[in-house]
Structure 1
Amino acid sequence: MSTHTTSATVPSYVLDQWWTPAEGSRTAEVRDANTGEAMLRFGAEGLDLGEVLAHARTIGQRELGALSLHERALKLKELAMFLNSRRDELYALSHRTGATQVDNMVDIDGGIGVLFTYSSKGRRELPNANVIQDGGVEPLSKDGSFIGTHIYTRIPGAAVQVNAFNFPVWGMLEKFAPAFIAGVPTIVKPATPTGYVTEAAVRIMIESGILPPGSLQLISGSARGLLDVMDYRDLLAFTGSASTAQSLKAHPNVVTGGVRFTAETDSLNAAILGPDAVEGTPEFDAFVKAVVTEMTVKAGQKCTAIRRTIVPEGQREAVAKAVSERLDSRVVLGDPRAEGVTMGALASLDQLRDVRGAVEELLAAGGELAYGTLDAPSVRTASGEEAVVEQGAFMSPVLLTWADGDAEALHSREAFGPVTSLLGYTDVADAVRLAARGSGSLVATVCTNDPEVARELTTGIAGHHGRVHLLNRETSRSSTGHGSPMPQLVHGGPGRAGGGEELGGIRAVLHHMQRTALQGSPNLVTAVTGVWQTGADRRIAGSPAYGAEAGQEHPFRKSLTDLRIGDALASDLRQVTQEDITAFAHTTGDTFYAHTDPEAAAANPFFPGTVAHGYLLVAWAAGLFVEPAPGPVLANYGLENLRFVTPVAAGDSIRITLTAKRITPRVTDEYGEVAWDALIHNQDDEIVATYDVLTLVEKEDTLYRDWTD
């Protein structure tokens, strides 16, 4: 493989080394979006794509598999911090794509923020392992010897990620982060017009030394043929045009070969102004601000931008006037390197031609130009002068109004730039109908302060949208905005929007994993999942009357070094008296009649008479299992899944069996979490309550040693 470099050619990063095509290979030219200056060339002719994929499936899979979910999540934090320290380099380069400082915050800072978010969620919500148990256990035999559950494990191939030109950093990192946590190697294919910014980000990531070999590869140029060598082990995540997505989706390796395919594509998103949000209300002002923001951030080159501004028919003129006035007062068009510029160029001259062509089609279909021009605008150049830059990809913001809100082009033709169409509706049902004509969208904003309008609009359009953004006076300052997908929530949409799903917190990690039904004995299911299952073997300390074995140490005396899944404690019985119940009622103030009034309690079909408080039983259960002296258990930090099953009357007794169910060491701390299966029985061996006790436990028993020494 050729590894020589050519200064004018953006390199690929494959097989853990930088690669550029041989002299004379076919390349595509990339220009500065603001000036038209030729900058770089892109090409990948001669690159063995099968070899690239094989490297990910072998080296990448091996190296990532040597780390746990938590270890990979921690590396994302380290990577985010390293990128954060170098973001000025990316800002400077990104300005050449037409991106302003605000645009860079959305793309570069937003991408780094995705890494931080996934690192935190991965360590907080996933086990420190490589198998995730999905849901509970299904008993498959009467005696409990055969059970079933589901598990997630990583897919055995690579995640090929094809990204659009509008977000060269965020677009890469929002796909890379969940794949990396899942343990699946990434092959990035950025769009050519802005791919040099992606290459710079990848170069910084490689220079950090944080990434395992094979975990990230970059193809700077055409990746035509890559899908030909993919199979069911792999995943293709595509962001771009609907037509390209359909072409990829029709590939035999997707149709019959089993390649996992997800797409996020064109979307004619809507913003709906509620009938209550009239001129002069905070909602009206927030709506106008949102529309202008979505027209101008990234010069409107966002898959989430507002393309259809849907307002009450009587508000059309007022909205058009307010949007125009805000554009006049807020937008300074020009080179982002010039002071005061708030909106930059489109990504390329090709993109400019496409957007102008789309606007011309919309005008021919009945749209009227209410603001802006299709002529080359005067802009502020990098030197601070005002001039028309013929080779710059600059375009004025454009507001189109429509007398006929049902014009077909309005709901089918997207101008992927600083363009929105304003149309009127007659009533809320009509607004729902018009929004749905987008045939599936990524996001819609509903701007209203009327709860009933919010309910009717949201339930009416939700089935056509991947996200609904509710905007009113309460959220106008705190909202992250119509056009900003958040890593905690899913990003995608049905129909025209691609039918895919990205982000969504841990959901996105699971997209890169295979869910498998697992059946077997409790012991074997425990071995596979790393989670103790009811019926599996235990090593029990405590009361011989309830299964304790001689010589077993109290599990609370064990640090994580010694503690094992299945280590358990069985207590003796403790009797509950009416005096105990009454004292607890008066001490806590919980004098509910079932605990204090024998006649009223006896009339309740659920109780045999006065019964113990559930929380009394939980508190007493703690007294039956807690080891009082200092030791490796540092703290109890909660209960999960608490259920009260059988009431305990005065005179009954309770005992508890506590079993180490799940052990999660923390990568960065000297302690970890232990979840204990807690089972309270009465004197007749009936189950009284079930729950999980959560504790923090030292990795090494330093506290106990220090105290006893």
Structure 2
Amino acid sequence: MTVQNISSFAAGQWIAPGAGARNIASAITGDVIATAGNDALDVQAMLDYARNVGGPNLRKLTFHDRARMLKALAMHLREHRQAMYDLSFDTGATQSDHMIDIDGGIGTMLVFASKGRKEMPDSHVYLDGEIEQLSRNGTFLGQHICTPLQGVAIHINAFNFPVWGMLEKLAPTLLAGVPAIVKPATNSCYVTELCVKLMIDSGILPAGAVQLVSGGLGDMLDHLTCQDAVAFTGSADTALKLRSNPLILQNNTRFTSEADSLNASLLGPDAIPGTPEFDLFVKEVSREMTTKAGQKCTAIRRIIAPQNSVEALIEALSARLSKTVIGDPRLETTRMGALVSGGQKRDVLEKAALIGTEAERVFGDPDNFTVDGADAEKGAFVPPMLFHCADPDNAQRVHDTEAFGPVSTVMGYRDVDHAIALANKGQGSLVTSCITHDPTVAREVAIGAGAFHGRIYFNNRDSMKESTGHGSPLPHMVHGGPGRAGGGEELGGIRGVKHYMQRTAIQGSPDILSAIGDKWVPGAAEITEEAHPFTRKFGELSIGETLHTAPRTVTMDDIEHFANFTGDTFYAHMDEEAARRNPFFPGRVAHGYLLLSFAAGMFVEPNEGPVLANTGLDGLRFMKPVSAGDSIKVRLTVKKKTKRNDEYGEVRWHVTLTNQDDELVAEYELLTMNAY
């Protein structure tokens, strides 16, 4: 068998294994299949390359440029995923496991690419929140902005997801405009190396954006600054050691951790045997125990069920687990493959024995099980093991010992408060799930357990067909948890991007804030052009370009016609005495939507032109009523521009309606698509 040399990609060069390299064995056969590591890597050169080459290259791009880059990378990886599938079998993963890891990682990149285009500006500064008026007349304002850190992100990943674990950190980092140095776990780094090679060879990434360390980091963490960030996934002990680095503490280097987690799943008191929820619970637990051979940071470790359902649950789980075919993951019939290594197998069996001091093993014998197509002794195979803890209140090991494999413990509860207390005894988890059809139970669990868990997943007969599962972190939602789960957060949409950016409070005049944010702020200078703005293409419009209309008088005939034409005969528009009794109105008033219709008629340019469509309005507010005899006028200003493709872009217009006394009547933002 050919032993593969797993290289590092450092300062733009591929560097083969050298001094300090270690062997990597196949999880299936135990044979050495690769070697990785090089103690001679110049870590300072790697950091300098990221900071001086990668960072500037990324920061030249807008958020939308980076989002398009992520999409292109994801599509390129999708075309070559079979090669990663083929390599990943030796980690012990099945084809279904590959789809979670490889396809899941690609999908995560696509979500961040989409959110980057939809939720972030096509510019270099991210505006965080709304304008704060800091002075009476609005000449001195405040705005929070986010800009990329000017350092490097160090990503230290776990062995269980060599592709997803990298891409879920890499996507928000690159979208933020920060280069990354990726350090995968050595046991499965050969899959990560292939993924990085595919990205580098694609030519999509700018120089210095991504580097790879296959093996140890050396003293890299001793060279970090306040502009750098570390994101770690692994054991709580290792996380503590890394975050305690004196230089990290001294420089307040950002450190986020996703660590050990004694995740729980609660069976609601309403989910008795025979209900859809009971059957769903059995399916979810067995799936979480066996997917990736239980090597998931989100796997269910503690199964918390009503005391009177424990016996039936153990019976149902045992029956389902007994159908799990363990074997060579390359076989189509295999449902659970091997642990990643012999060392991991020894660790899982040691931890299971420790749990066994407080709980009885009711399913799965590590000394007597069948493996299809492989040697159980040579490979890192273990069976699913189910324990029952009869006294969870006085137990300790079942609440603080994570056997990182297909091991879980059933325990009974008396009432919902007791179930919550047991879930919280894990002292912080990434996820707790609750299977219930009772909204009251769900509310109690959310309030009682929320502080101890990064995510709470509820499921029942109504959502089961579309739910993604207890153990599936989604890029839209935060992934992390308090306490022993690490105390950090990853993913969470744009929240994850902000981990790699600095929030800064900007204070100044409307013109200053408009220039910094590339977005017109009320009170800033207006630009007046001779041509109507609706006759100008997307690329011709300037931020701050403004149209002022002539006034229009609102008559009682207008109000009554609008009421009868639309059917909106609300009393405030039609009954003078009733309207006067209303504390908000002086008498009969114009419909708010009548004013919007008039406004559109006042600023629109009716001929065919660059405006392709009106796609909506945001932030509509009515400030002052308009009575018959009042007049209104409109100010229409280009607030923000966002290119969507080569054919058109979105223009966000700030619209104000004022009356004859220049008092603000209504305000909103109009969205149009304009030809490019």
TM-score bracket, shorter-length normalisation: over 0.9
Equivalent position of 2:636 in the other structure: 658
Pairing of 1:216-295 with structure 2 (within 5 A): 216-295=210-289
TM-aligned CA deviation for residue 535 of structure 1: 1.2
Q: Distance in 1 between matches of 2:130 and 2:427?
A: 38
Contact 2:271 2:437 in 1 (8 A): yes
Aligned counterpart for 2:655 among listed residues 675, 678, 695:
678
The one-letter amino acid of 2:535's match is: R
1:138-217 pair list within 5 angstroms: 138-217=132-211
> Does 1:422 pair with 2:428?
no
Distance between the aligned counterparts of 1:590 and 1:132, measured in 2?
41
Q: 1:28–1:42: 8 Å Cα contact kept in structure 2?
A: yes
The answer on whether the counterparts of 1:399 and 1:420 sit within 8 Å (CA) in structure 2 is: yes
Deviation string 1:87-143 (CA, Å, 9 cap, x unpaired) is 110111111100001101110000000011111111011110110111121222333
Q: What amino acid sits opposite 2:670 in the alignment?
A: V
Q: Counterpart of 2:445?
A: 457
Alignment of 1:369-518 (within 5 A): 369-375=361-367, 377-381=369-373, 388-406=375-393, 407-518=395-506
- Residue 362 of structure 1 corresponds to which residue in structure 2? 355
Normalising to structure 1: TM-score of the pair? 0.94
How far apart in 2 are the matches of 1:353 and 1:376?
Answer: 16
3-state secondary structure, aligned to 1:316:
helix
Match of 1:549?
A: none
Partner Cα separation in structure 2 for residue 7 and residue 553 of structure 1: 71
Shift of 1:637: 0.4
Match of 1:544 in 2: none
Deviations 1:527-559 (A, max 9, x none): 111011111111135xxxxxxxxxx22111211
For 2:364 and 2:472, how far apart are their aligned partners in 1? 25
The letter of the residue matching 1:566 is G
Contact kept? 1:332, 1:340, Cα under 8 Å: yes
TM-superposed CA distance for 1:7, in Å, is 6.5
Instruction: Please name the residue that 1:19 is paired with.
Output: 15
Gaps of at least 5 residues in structure 2 are none
Q: Which shows bigger deviation, 480-489 or 243-252?
A: 243-252
Q: Deviations over 1:595-625 (max 9, x none)?
A: 1111100100100111111111111111111
Out of 53, 62, 67, the position equivalent to 1:73 is: 67
Partner deviation per Cα, 1:680-704 (whole Å, 9 max, x = no partner): 10111000011111111112xxxxx
> 1:706 matched to which residue of 2?
none
Residue type at the aligned position of 1:528: I
Q: Does 1:40 align with 2:40?
A: no
Q: Which amino acid aligns with 1:634?
A: L
- Partners of 1:691 and 1:171 in 2: CA distance: 42
Stretch moving more, 316-325 or 10-19: 10-19
Write out per-residue CA displacement over residues 258-291 of structure 1, whole angstroms, 9 at most, x where no aligned residue. Answer: 2111000000000000111000000000000000
Indicate if the aligned counterparts of 2:154 and 2:180 stay in contact, CA closer than 8 A.
yes
Which whole-Å deviations, capped at 9, do the CAs of 1:173-193 have from their partners, x for residues lacking one? Answer: 000001111110011000011
The whole-number CA distance in structure 2 between the counterparts of 1:439 and 1:256 is 28
Query: 1:520 maps to what in 2?
Result: 508
Instruction: Indicate if the aligned counterparts of 1:376 and 1:395 stay in contact, CA closer than 8 A.
Output: no
Q: Aligned pairs, how many?
A: 674
- Runs (5+) with no aligned partner, structure 1: 1-5, 383-387, 542-551, 700-709
Select 2:118's aligned residue among 116, 120, 124.
124
TM-score by length of 2: 0.98
d(CA) in 2 for partners of 1:663, 1:8: 51
CA contact 1:377–1:394 (8 Å) conserved in 2: no
1:150-178 CA-to-partner distances (Å, cap 9, x unmatched) read: 11111111111000000000000000001
SS in 2 for 1:352: helix
How far did residue 478 of structure 1 move?
1.2
Tell me if 1:598 matches 2:576: yes
Aligned counterpart, 1:566: 544
Partner SS state of residue 9, structure 1: strand
Secondary structure in structure 1 of the residue aligned to 2:14: strand
Displacement of 1:21: 3.9
Partners in 1 of 2:103 and 2:471 — Cα distance? 15
Deviations 1:202-257 (A, max 9, x none): 11111111111100100001003111011100010000000111111111222221
In the other structure, the counterpart of 1:608 is: 586
Asked if 1:619 corresponds to 2:597, the answer is: yes
Post-superposition shift, 1:405? 1.0
**1:85-100 correspondence runs (5 A):** 85-100=79-94
Among the aligned pairs, what percent are the same residue? 53
CA distance in 2, matches of 1:144, 1:404: 64
Deviation for aligned residue 1:448:
0.7
CA distance in 2, matches of 1:168, 1:369: 31
Structure 2 counterpart of 1:128, which letter? D
Whole-angstrom distance in 1 between the partners of 2:447 and 2:593: 40
- CA deviation vs aligned residue, 1:645-671 (integer Å, no higher than 9, x gap): 0011111111110111111112x3321
Runs (4+) of structure 1 moved beyond 3 Å?
A: none
1:518 shift after superposition? 0.4
Q: In the alignment, is residue 646 of structure 1 matched against residue 661 of structure 2?
A: no
The match for 1:547 is none
Give 1:484's aligned amino acid: S
In the TM superposition, what whole-angstrom CA distance separates every residue of 1:40-75 from its partner, at most 9, and x where no partner exists?
111121001111011011110111122111011011
Q: C-alpha distance in 2, partners of 1:233/1:559?
A: 40
User: Per the alignment, in what secondary structure is the counterpart of residue 44 of structure 1?
Assistant: coil
Distance 1:373 1:21 in 2: 40
Contact 1:21 1:46 in 2 (8 A): no
Distance of 2:397 and 2:237 partners within structure 1: 17
Q: Which amino acid is 1:422 matched to?
A: V
Question: What is the correspondence of 1:307-346 to structure 2 with a 5 Å cutoff?
Answer: 307-329=301-323, 331-346=324-339
**What is the CA–CA distance in structure 2 between the aligned matches of 1:403 and 1:66, rounded to whole Å?**
60
CA distance in 2, matches of 1:586, 1:437: 64
2:632–2:657: 8 Å Cα contact kept in structure 1? yes
Which amino acid in the other structure matches residue 643 of structure 2? P
